[in-house]
Amino acid sequence: MITQSFGNRGDTCGTSLKTAWTVTAVACAVVLLVQQSIQARQAGTRAVLVVVPAQSASTQLVRVTADDGPAVTVDRTQSIDVRTGKPVSLVCTLSSGLTLRTTLIDGETSITLPTITKDRLVVTDSAGVGVVDAKVTARGVASRWTWTNTVISGLNGLARIEHPETSGRDVARVDAEGFTPYEAEIALASNHDAHISLIAGATIAGTVLTQQATAGQTIVRLVRVTTTRDRVQQSLIETTFAWRNVAAGEYVIEALVKGSGMRSIGPILVKAGQYVNLGPIDVTPSAALEGVVHDEDGAPLINARVRLTPIDDVHVALAEAVTDRSGRYRFAAVIPGEYRPELFVEGSGWRTFPFEPIVLTPGEAKRRSLAWSKDCSLAIRFNLMGALTDATYSISLPVTERPTTFRVSSESVEQRFAAVPCEGAAVIARRDSAGETYFIPLVSGANEFVVSVWPPKAPVSMQVLTGGQPLSGVSVWTMPHGSPQTVAKTTTGPMTDETGTMIVSIPSEEAPTLYLQGANGWSEVDRAEFRRDGSRVILSLPGTIIRGRITDSRGRPLAGVTFLGTIKDSDGSSQTLPPSAVTLFKGRSDQEGAFFIPGVAVGQWSIQLLRQTQTQVSRTVDVDVRERSAAILNVIMGDR
């Protein structure tokens, strides 16, 4: 049974009202028993007790969903099926809109929701005036739970956000008419209001001039000029378009017409609050392109597909033609612009021409012959590493074709591509195991790669200790040891609680590679060895620490300085890395210029520091880490 009590940290009706839940033998309460009767329960299900808050006017648990199944409306008698033998996703929705998510591990028979509190966020404009009707979507983590809540700001821009009391690394996204969307970390607390200041958004408008036959087929894209080409907006239009609430910055506008090509405008510098009228954008297909596709011996290729793609987006096919019996292709009407050709030959593969763009001017009829060759090939071998019933992978190449889906079941297999582009990378992603992604750079010649196919990761309760003490407030995830994978570092996953415990999925192998994401960045444990304590696994890291502070020549703290730490032998060569200790770390200094890395391996460390000013300033510092000690590193970095 559960009773309801209220704690207010000093006030009885304040905005920091909390809902606490205490198990008692006598008080009336609400308990959701997620089970069916022994007689009616189907084979393969188990009973799970979900302890929920006592009902109140301010917060109620209104529904529960297990494994993306049908939502269950909560009352005193409703039950829900929970499967055995595999992890179960549990989603709990409260009347305030707060949604809590976690994973039930196999054998877990009860779960208690976190304590809920309500704190304030104030949304203002750049002049400090409250913004009314702003949509605030907050999210965060609280021990094993991830949470989201969406509220609307009211008078004076005040938004009251209900969230778990022990939440950390909270993030809020704010959308309001007339302002640039804003997303940043926030600090929700009872003793002060969190604040977000919005910047007035710009408007970009224009009109597309096209032929009547292609009206309604124009896609207009707004691309922010960055190192990664951030696509901000995309619209399918008839003739006119207008993008509002655009952030200040430099942009390129692209108008794509299916079968005809693309027109690019920009780059254009947009200021906060500015109205930019691009006027008419002419996408009349006034150019033409034709030529012959031949093989390495000069013989024409029949039924070869020729596609035109944008210069900087190899996955978009703007127009396509097929060669005839003479190997001839023709694009009769193309929008003037710059394109990359792509060749596909059935049964052989692809070839691209990254250094041979085609530039078409208005009214021009250009001839361009294309030579087919198999300069690059790709072979991917999938090796089974344990008992497996089924695993599905997608293989993406830097071409306009959709990813290839490939299934591995009972034996090791190989997937071959006779010809692939000699550029970019092939991306292999496992669809039934989150985080397992491989990037294979494609170079001239035969590209070969081996994927170790492990059984799906099993979620377990893990406790992380450093020097015998719990390590709280870190996200943890694992990979099979030795996998040449690019790991997506994240700060939004579940974190260890005050006991250093969280639910985490680990591979079936004995010593996987483990990653810790903390406030300063992430650390890598090359080989994590666990000991078991009942159904829980324990990772014991050493009590050694590297910590320090980075300042300028005047002693002022430097925030945002990038650091990379690697462990070396005394002679500078790479050594055999010790198990269950941090062997690599990377991150940035905090607002005080400080950094703190626990659980590091004993030995000689080399730390590279990079400060970005008008120029890049770098330093390399060596530090000796000894057993059961803290290596303190204070670094002064100048402007050059």
Position 14 in a domain: yes
How many angstroms from the chain centroid is the CA of residue 408? 26
pLDDT value, residue 500: 85
Residue 136 near residue 160 (C-beta atoms within 8 A): no
207 and 193 in a single domain? The answer is: no
Type of residue numbered 110:
S
**Could you say which of 304, 336, 371 is where a domain stops?**
371
Residue 570 and residue 529: Cα distance in Å, rounded? 25
In 3-state terms, what secondary structure has residue 212?
A: helix
**Could you say which of 371, 395, 429 is where a domain stops?**
371
The CATH number given to whatever domain includes residue 343 is 2.60.40.1120
356 and 492 in a single domain? The answer is: no
pLDDT digits (tens, 9 = 90+) for 423-455: 888 988 888 755 577 888 998 899 999 888 877
pLDDT value, residue 55: 47
pLDDT value, residue 358: 92
The secondary structure of residue 213, as a DSSP letter, is G
486 and 439 in a single domain? The answer is: no
508 and 601 in a single domain? The answer is: yes
367 CB burial (10 A radius; 0-12, 13-18, 19+): exposed
Position 150 in a domain: yes
How many angstroms from the chain centroid is the CA of residue 399? 23
User: What average pLDDT score do residues 386-408 get?
Assistant: 84
Write down the mean pLDDT value for the chain.
79
Position 625 in a domain: yes
206 and 263 in a single domain? The answer is: yes
- What is the DSSP track for 366-429? EE--EE----EEEEEEEEE-S--S-EEEEEE-SSSSPPEEEEE-SS-EEEEESB--SSSEEEEE
156 φ, ψ to 5°? Answer: 60, 20
Position 560 in a domain: yes
User: What average pLDDT score do residues 58-62 get?
Assistant: 66
Position 332 in a domain: yes
Residue 41 and residue 452: Cα distance in Å, rounded? 38
555 and 585 in a single domain? The answer is: yes
What are the distances in angstroms from CA 230 to CA 32, 113, 233? Answer: 45, 38, 9
pLDDT value, residue 29: 34
- pLDDT band for 228, please (50, 70, 90 cuts): low
The CATH number given to whatever domain includes residue 409 is 2.60.40
Residue 564 and residue 572: Cα distance in Å, rounded? 16
User: What average pLDDT score do residues 198-215 get?
Assistant: 81
In 3-state terms, what secondary structure has residue 462?
A: strand
613 and 570 in a single domain? The answer is: yes
121 and 193 in a single domain? The answer is: yes
Lowest mean pLDDT among 29-33, 92-96, 220-224, 424-428: 29-33
Residue 530 and residue 589: Cα distance in Å, rounded? 30
Position 398 in a domain: yes
Position 287 in a domain: no
Domains in the chain: how many in total?
A: 6
- Is the model's pLDDT at 607 over the cut of 60? yes
- pLDDT band for 365, please (50, 70, 90 cuts): very high
58 and 207 in a single domain? The answer is: no
Residue 178 and residue 202: Cα distance in Å, rounded? 8
In 3-state terms, what secondary structure has residue 223?
A: strand
**Could you say which of 319, 344, 371 is where a domain stops?**
371
pLDDT value, residue 54: 58
Lowest mean pLDDT among 39-43, 179-183, 222-226, 302-306: 39-43
Position 391 in a domain: yes
pLDDT value, residue 135: 95
89 and 208 in a single domain? The answer is: no
Tell me which residue range forms the domain holding 337: 292-371
Residue 97 and residue 103: Cα distance in Å, rounded? 20
274 and 344 in a single domain? The answer is: no
Question: Which residues contact residue 470 at a Cβ distance below 8 angstroms, ignoring those fewer than 6 apart?
Answer: 463, 464, 496, 498, 499, 500, 501
pLDDT value, residue 5: 30
Residue 610 near residue 584 (C-beta atoms within 8 A): no
508 and 430 in a single domain? The answer is: no
The CATH number given to whatever domain includes residue 272 is 2.60.40.10
214 φ, ψ to 5°? Answer: -105, 10
